[in-house]
Structure 1
Amino acid sequence: MGGGTAREDLVALLQDYAGEAELLGQAFAGRHGLHPTDLHALLAVMRADAAGEPLTPGLLGSRLGLSTGATTALVDRLERAGHVRRTRESADRRRVTLHQAENAARVGGAFFGPLGHRMDAALADFDEAELTAAARFLTRMNALVADYRADLAAENPAS
């Protein structure tokens, strides 16, 4: 591929993918009047909804490394734009959880749907064992990056 070892090529490809994904996220955010952080927040809300896991504003802020005030402003922006809705738990009315609003699914599907079709076509070229290995690798890399980010935040809480 790139002329290095398989490991070097894989690391370079992973960096390229991360950069392309970030640029695509910025394009989506710019097209819909969002800040790139808003997109990361929206993706976190969508993932939590899909997994059936409650996501509070506090947990969202923690995942994104934001202060309470910044998280409130972010959730307010997403709610005003019709991407997120707040709900109160029936048992504890003080507890607010965040959920994807219909507008988020509509605009996200319109923007990312064609890419999803292209990815599905590309994934069809791989057998189950290859996909399982790729999923295991990406799961490990995501965990390592998240752990490293948490370590950095613990070293310098102001960042």
Structure 2
Amino acid sequence: MSEGRERGSEEGPEREIFHLLRAVTVEYGLRQAEFASDNGMHATDVRALICLLDAERAGVEATAGWLGGQLGVNSAGTTAVIDRLERLGHIARVRDGRDRRRVLLRVEDRAKELGWAYFGPLIGGTDAMLKGFDDSEVAAVRRFLSGVLGIMAGSKDNT
């Protein structure tokens, strides 16, 4: 039996959790695609909105260059995404108050409301489920998801 086949046959609880994580990501991707389709957007547009919302929560000033780096898209592709989202009224280009030469990207309230209307039940259900966990369980979930994210980011850097 080949080494790869032996590794592939290891079906313990760790592998089950990996498969559940994969199922969650696939299902979430389907929800994002449905949201994009229902609202005249591309999948990359939804990813861009998520990046911009995450930046806003983290206090990061998002520029076109920053967004392109987050999306892994070249300058022309980034401009196309920004133009589409701006045309749809989901984002605005605003001058930086400290450096008028710099243009920042801001998610409009309309986009937040649209996203909340669609994803709010998922977010609320997840919040409710986690409220049933004790502090150590929440910490374990956070550690697991942060660790997987780190592994994924590291494997992307090594390709």
TM-score normalised to structure 2 length: 0.89
TM superposition outliers: structure 1 runs of 4+ over 3 Å: none
Shift of 1:25: 0.5
- Residue from 77, 80, 91 that aligns with 1:73: 80
Cα RMSD over matched residues? 1.4
Q: Give 3-state SS (helix, strand or coil) of 1:86's partner.
A: strand
For structure 2, the 5+ residue unaligned runs are 1-9
For structure 1, the 5+ residue unaligned runs are 153-159
1:46 — aligned with what? 53
Shift of 1:150: 3.1
Q: Which amino acid aligns with 2:51?
A: A
Shift of 1:92: 1.6
Matched, 1:138 2:145: yes
Which is higher, the Rg of structure 1 or of structure 2? 2
- Residue from 147, 155, 158 that aligns with 1:148: 155
1:157 — aligned with what? none
> 1:116-155 deviations in whole A, cap 9, x for unaligned?
2211222122111111111011111112212322333xxx
Matched, 1:126 2:127: no
Matched, 1:55 2:62: yes
Cα distance in 1 for residues equivalent to 2:92 and 2:54: 15
Shift of 1:47: 0.7
Q: Give 3-state SS (helix, strand or coil) of 1:33's partner.
A: coil
Matched, 1:10 2:29: no
> Alignment identity in percent?
38
**Matched residue count:** 150
